């Protein structure tokens, strides 16, 4: 397995347990800073420096993917539309019609609903076709009866399918009417492009830190001084991560039905799920035979 796939598996695993993308960045950066802090008192092994470099590489990759999502250069996943299954496909037509007649008796205005009107029309059509079949059947020769009855069976099946389809539409309409007035939060509701400039700043900072680690590991000259200086400049990286939650709350003005805090948390969680989806799709492609 290639290193990139190994890294993505670890990244996907970490993302899947974090409470949001901001928390993920904190958890990725913290061990790197802790390791750099100890450079004041000891010499870090090259393997340890390489480990911190890998952590920043995956953090940088995540920020770049997040920025592509914010700019809509990687399409956001559409929220799955939940459609309850009422089991209509296996329901007997007489049960459906019994329910429809009971509903109309309780509320005659229900006849005006499109789905109900369609069902009643199909019932009339069924009755007409059934009457026609009974009238014609005695006149059909024995060798032609199978084809004759087959044609009517197809007609009856289409009518029954239409009744079930319209009954399902009626139940779906009623279920939709019972949903809350406001939909659940989705990052598709807010202008994510407003975060792109901050994400670019994050990417530049993490790239700079990663390059510094790579230089220290490869050059092996004044390594401790370089690592200590990198730790002393940690505040910019920390500030950019913490700024993300505040900036997220700012773009939430486009979704006034949610509080700023709820929206900011929703954006962090939404980005986590979207980025996780990108990595999982990439891992599936990596597993395909060449």
Q: In 3D, which of 70, 71, 61, 77 has the Cα closest to residue 25? A: 61
Position 281 pLDDT exceeds 80: yes
Q: Which residue has the tokens 């700024």?
A: 243
Q: In 3D, which of 103, 146, 154, 150 has the Cα closest to residue 126? A: 154
Q: How many residues does the chain have?
A: 290
d(CA 40, CA 229): 10
Identify the residue with better confidence: 72 or 79.
72
- Assign 219 a pLDDT band (cuts: 50, 70, 90): confident
Choose from 35-44, 175-184, 200-209 the range with maximum mean pLDDT: 200-209
Position 47 pLDDT exceeds 70: yes
d(CA 128, CA 11): 64
* Whether pTM exceeds 0.85: no
Query: pLDDT tens for residues 139-190?
Result: 888 888 898 888 889 998 999 999 999 988 888 888 777 766 566 788 888 9
Identify the residue with better confidence: 12 or 165.
165
Q: Which residue has the tokens 């009974």?
A: 134
Quote the pLDDT of residue 1.
39
CA 11 centroid distance within chain: 18
Choose from 15-24, 107-116, 195-204, 224-233 the range with maximum mean pLDDT: 195-204
For residue 254, how many C-alpha atoms fall within 13 Å in the half-sphere facing its CB? 14
Position 2 pLDDT exceeds 50: no
Average pLDDT, the chain: 86
Residues 56 and 32 sit within 8 Å (Cβ to Cβ): yes
**For 90-117, what is the mean pLDDT?**
89
Quote the pLDDT of residue 178.
73
Q: Which residue has the tokens 């037509």?
A: 93
**For 252-278, what is the mean pLDDT?**
88
Residues 164 and 96 sit within 8 Å (Cβ to Cβ): yes
- Dihedral Cα 274, 278, 280, 281, nearest 10 deg: 130
Which spans in the chain are helix H? 3-17, 21-37, 46-70, 93-106, 114-136, 142-177, 196-219, 223-232, 234-251, 260-287
**For 93-111, what is the mean pLDDT?**
90
Q: In 3D, which of 1, 15, 103, 124 has the Cα closest to residue 59? A: 15
Share of the chain above pLDDT 70, in %: 88
Helices 21-37, 260-287: axis angle to 10 degrees equals 80
Quote the tokens at residue 111.
Answer: 């006849």
Positive or negative: CA dihedral 165, 170, 175, 181: positive
Cβ burial, residue 36 (10 Å; 0-12/13-18/19+)? buried
**For 197-212, what is the mean pLDDT?**
96
d(CA 217, CA 223): 7
């Amino acid at each position: 397995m290639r290193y990139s796939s190994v890294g993505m598996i670890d990244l996907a695993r970490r993302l899947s347990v974090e409470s949001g993308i901001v928390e993920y960045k904190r958890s990725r950066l913290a061990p790197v800073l802790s390791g750099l802090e100890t450079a004041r008192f000891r010499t870090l092994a090259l393997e340890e420096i390489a480990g911190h470099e890998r952590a920043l590489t995956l953090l940088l990759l995540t920020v770049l993917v997040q920025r592509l999502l914010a700019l809509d250069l990687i399409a956001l996943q559409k929220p799955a539309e939940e459609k309850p299954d009422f089991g209509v496909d296996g329901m007997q037509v007489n049960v459906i019609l019994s329910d429809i007649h009971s509903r109309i008796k309780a509320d005659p205005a229900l006849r005006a609903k499109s789905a109900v009107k369609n069902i009643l029309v199909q019932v009339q059509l069924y009755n007409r076709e059934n009457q026609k079949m009974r009238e014609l059947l005695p006149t059909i020769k024995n060798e032609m009866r199978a084809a004759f009855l087959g044609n009517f069976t197809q007609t009856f099946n289409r009518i029954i399918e239409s009744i079930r389809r319209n009954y399902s539409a009626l139940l779906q309409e009623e279920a939709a009417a019972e949903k809350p007035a406001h939909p659940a939060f989705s990052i598709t509701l807010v202008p994510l492009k407003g975060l792109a400039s901050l994400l670019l700043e994050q990417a530049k900072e993490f790239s700079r830190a990663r390059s510094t680690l790579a230089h220290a590991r490869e050059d092996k000259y004044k390594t401790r001084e370089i690592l200590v200086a990198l730790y002393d400049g940690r505040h910019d990286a920390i500030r950019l991560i913490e700024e993300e939650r505040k900036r997220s709350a700012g773009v939430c003005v486009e979704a006034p039905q949610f509080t700023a805090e709820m929206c900011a948390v929703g954006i962090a969680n939404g980005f986590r799920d979207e980025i996780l989806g990108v990595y999982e799709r990439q891992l599936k492609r990596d597993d395909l035979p060449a």
